[in-house]
């Protein structure tokens, strides 16, 4: 599927929509999140999105994101000039402000004193963007250029020590610029600024809720499916379960779910999933298929993490197709694809590389002649959780930590074998037990164990050992797009490490991962 389609074929929820044009900032997703928290439906689009598409999609306003380049760089991304002729409000943030300045006739130049990190901005009274805000804000800046001359029609509404024009506006055209990032938590009253742009300036009513999303999604699913049949790959996780329940709410028994046990699940997980979905509480028609041996055979001798993902994805499709074919014919394939899956699986800016491949985003073989249904494609993870609660799922299940599609295969560095899976399952179960017992589980985005491809010398009793190393990973995050390593209590780490070394045969050393995202990813592979 072309890049543009990946971003534009999202559910049209029928609400006023703000669009964020992405110029490559690490904070772009935070802009959309902050606005959605204010019940303003917001989508992220590539920077080169055409004015015609924005007009057709009835944009209520545009936000130009930050970016890592300077506007004078040869390869600096530029939006189409026609977006400034759409007659809708535009807010430029950092690089977005500099680009707006440059494209509308102003001057941007390297600053003598760069601003990275905290800065103090003094605000001018009278701007609807800063209504009821303090006169002085502590903000988060990240720029090496400054506005030397504003475009005609603009005037300054904020200044800092190193940036005489830290904020500007053209009230007649409703164009605004900020040389700092209101979307990050380090900026005081940053959400208020974004809210003022959406409500005061773009006149958005803030009517996007999970209840309204549920209502609109059911209507769209019914319109798309008609009297067709839908098959859904059910992993037992939150995303696929919520997707299946949503579709079931819309079309009932026209939906059939398939659960494939790939042998890469956590301890007792396949049995727990089968118990949950066969008790009847979810009222779904489900076919269960144990393909553990097939998956492990495909992974024999494979060391490269991307090759692991590809083989697991291909094998899943083959098994899924076999099961579906044995039980009739289907017109549609349902997937629990989320917005971060789309964003992380494609390149938005120039030649940049995708972070990871994802079996839910494009890539279906031609022989699977299904039309896709992806009702969660516009949602972030926490929004899916709220939708799950709206659909009646119990709180403990809804707030389960994310688990990767390829399962434990990407938490075993090196070859995946039954013996190494056994070690990791036992270890992961101990980590989960201690994290829950300590009360940290809901505070964490993810917490898990990783089996490393090295062995180290140890001493157990009077004997020398040469055994495996386990890394523990625990991060805090809102949506997985960025994450910080969790400062777990020393006592918790000590108890967990002691249990692993004493209870899991083959492990004699435990380490703790203190890397954040970026620069690291959450998963090791």
CA trace torsion 156, 157, 160, 162 (10° rounding): -20
The catalytic position among 43, 79, 94, 232 is 94
d(CA 353, CA 366): 25
Q: Got the DSSP string for 202-247?
A: T-------HHHHHHHHHHHHHHHHTT--EEEE--SSHHHHHHHHHH
d(CA 128, CA 197): 8
| Mean per-residue pLDDT over the chain, rounded | 88
Paired residues of 459 in beta bridges: 464
Express each pLDDT in 426-467 by its tens digit.
999 999 999 999 999 999 999 999 999 998 988 776 677 889
| Angle between helical axes of 418-438 and 490-503 (0-180°, round to 10) | 150
The catalytic position among 15, 143, 181, 359 is 181
Indicate if 491 belongs to the active site.
no
Going by their DSSP bridges, the two strands 59-64 and 90-93 should be labelled as parallel
Residue of 361, 412, 431, 428 lying closest to 524 (CA atoms):
412
d(CA 25, CA 83): 20
Residue 13: is its pLDDT beyond 50? no
Express each pLDDT in 14-45 by its tens digit.
578 999 999 988 788 889 989 999 999 998 99
Indicate if 232 belongs to the active site.
no
Residue of 167, 238, 508 lying closest to 397 (CA atoms):
238
Q: Which residue has the higher pLDDT, 5 or 135?
A: 135
Name the percent of the chain lying above pLDDT 70. 91
The end-to-end CA distance of the chain, in Å, is 25
Sign of the alpha-carbon dihedral angle for 311, 452, 501, 483? negative
Does residue 434 contact residue 492 with C-beta atoms inside 8 Å? yes
Name the percent of the chain lying above pLDDT 90. 63
Residue 11: is its pLDDT beyond 70? no
Lowest mean pLDDT among 99-108, 171-180, 397-406, 437-446: 397-406
Paired residues of 176 in beta bridges: 91, 169
The DSSP letter of residue 135 is S
d(CA 258, CA 278): 13
Mean pLDDT across the stretch 250-275? Answer: 92
d(CA 111, CA 100): 17
Express each pLDDT in 483-516 by its tens digit.
899 999 999 999 999 999 999 999 999 999 999 9
Cis peptide leading into residue 518 (ω within 30°): yes
Q: Which residue has the higher pLDDT, 479 or 525?
A: 525
The catalytic position among 43, 169, 183, 188 is 183
pLDDT at 394: 86
Alpha helices in 252-291 (DSSP H): 269-278
Residue 373: is its pLDDT beyond 50? yes
Helix or strand holding residue 74 (H, E): none
d(CA 504, CA 481): 33
Alpha helices in 346-417 (DSSP H): 381-390, 395-398
Query: What does the block give as tokens for 29?
Result: 């997703």
Go through the domains of the chain in sequence order and give each one's CATH number. Answer: 3-201 (3.40.50.880), 210-398 (3.40.50.620), 417-512 (3.30.300.10)
pTM over the 0.75 mark: no
List of residues 6+ apart from 448 with CB closer than 8 A = 401, 411, 428, 431, 432, 472, 473, 474
Q: Which residue has the higher pLDDT, 517 or 463?
A: 517
Q: Under DSSP, is residue 102 helix (H, G, I), strand (E, B) or coil? A: helix
Indicate if 79 belongs to the active site.
no
Residue 12: is its pLDDT beyond 60? no
Express each pLDDT in 52-103 by its tens digit.
999 999 999 999 999 988 998 988 999 999 999 999 999 999 999 999 999 9
The phi, psi pair for 79, rounded to 5°, reads: -80, 170
pLDDT at 519: 87
């Amino acid at each position: 599927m072309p890049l543009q389609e990946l971003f534009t074929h999202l559910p049209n929820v029928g609400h006023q929509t703000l669009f964020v044009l992405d110029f490559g900032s690490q904070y772009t997703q935070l802009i959309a999140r902050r606005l959605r928290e204010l019940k303003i439906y917001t989508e992220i689009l590539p920077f080169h999105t055409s004015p015609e598409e924005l007009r057709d999609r009835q944009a209520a306003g545009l936000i130009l994101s930050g970016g890592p380049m300077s506007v004078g760089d040869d390869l600096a991304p530029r939006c189409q000039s026609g977006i400034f002729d759409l007659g809708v409000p535009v807010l430029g943030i950092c690089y977005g402000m500099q680009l707006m300045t440059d494209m509308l006739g102003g001057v941007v130049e390297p600053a003598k004193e760069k601003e990275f990190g905290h800065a103090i901005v003094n605000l001018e009274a009278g701007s609807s963007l800063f209504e009821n805000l303090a006169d002085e804000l502590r903000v988060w800046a990240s720029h090496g250029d400054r506005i030397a001359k504003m475009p005609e029609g603009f005037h300054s509404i904020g200044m800092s020590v190193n940036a005489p024009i830290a904020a500007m506006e053209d009230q007649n055209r409703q164009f605004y610029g900020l040389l700092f990032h209101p979307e990050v938590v380090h900026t005081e009253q940053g959400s208020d600024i974004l809210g003022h742009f959406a409500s005061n300036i773009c006149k958005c009513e803030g009517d996007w809720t999970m209840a309204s999303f549920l209502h609109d999604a059911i209507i769209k699913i019914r319109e798309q499916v008609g009297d067709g049949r839908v098959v859904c790959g059910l992993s037992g996780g939150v995303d696929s379960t919520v997707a299946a329940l949503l579709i079931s709410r819309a079309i009932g028994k026209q939906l059939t779910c398939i659960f494939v046990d790939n042998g890469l699940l956590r301890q007792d997980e396949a049995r727990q999933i089968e118990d949950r979905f066969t008790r009847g509480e979810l009222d779904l028609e489900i076919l269960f298929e144990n393909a553990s041996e097939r998956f492990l055979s495909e992974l024999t001798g494979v060391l490269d993490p991307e090759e692991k993902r590809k083989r697991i994805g291909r094998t899943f499709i083959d098994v899924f197709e076999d099961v579906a074919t044995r039980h009739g014919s289907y017109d549609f394939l349902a997937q629990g694809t989320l917005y971060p899956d789309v964003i992380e699986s494609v390149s938005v800016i120039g030649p940049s590389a995708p972070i990871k491949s994802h079996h839910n985003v494009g890539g279906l073989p031609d022989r699977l002649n299904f039309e896709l249904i992806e009702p969660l494609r516009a949602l972030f993870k926490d929004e899916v959780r709220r939708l799950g609660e709206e659909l009646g799922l119990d709180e403990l299940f809804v707030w389960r930590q994310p688990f990767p599609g390829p399962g434990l295969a990407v938490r075993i560095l090196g070859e995946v074998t039954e013996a190494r899976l056994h070690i990791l399952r036992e270890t992961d179960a101990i980590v989960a037990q201690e994290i829950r017992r300590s009360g940290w589980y809901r505070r964490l985005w993810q917490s898990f164990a990783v089996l490393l491809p090295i062995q180290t010398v140890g001493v157990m009793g009077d004997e020398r050992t040469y055994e495996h190393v386990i890394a523990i990973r625990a991060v805090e995050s809102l949506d997985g797009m960025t994450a910080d390593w969790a400062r777990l209590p020393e006592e918790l780490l000590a108890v967990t490490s002691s249990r692993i070394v004493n209870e899991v045969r083959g492990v004699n050393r435990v380490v703790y991962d203190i890397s954040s995202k970026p620069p690291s990813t959450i998963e090791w592979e």
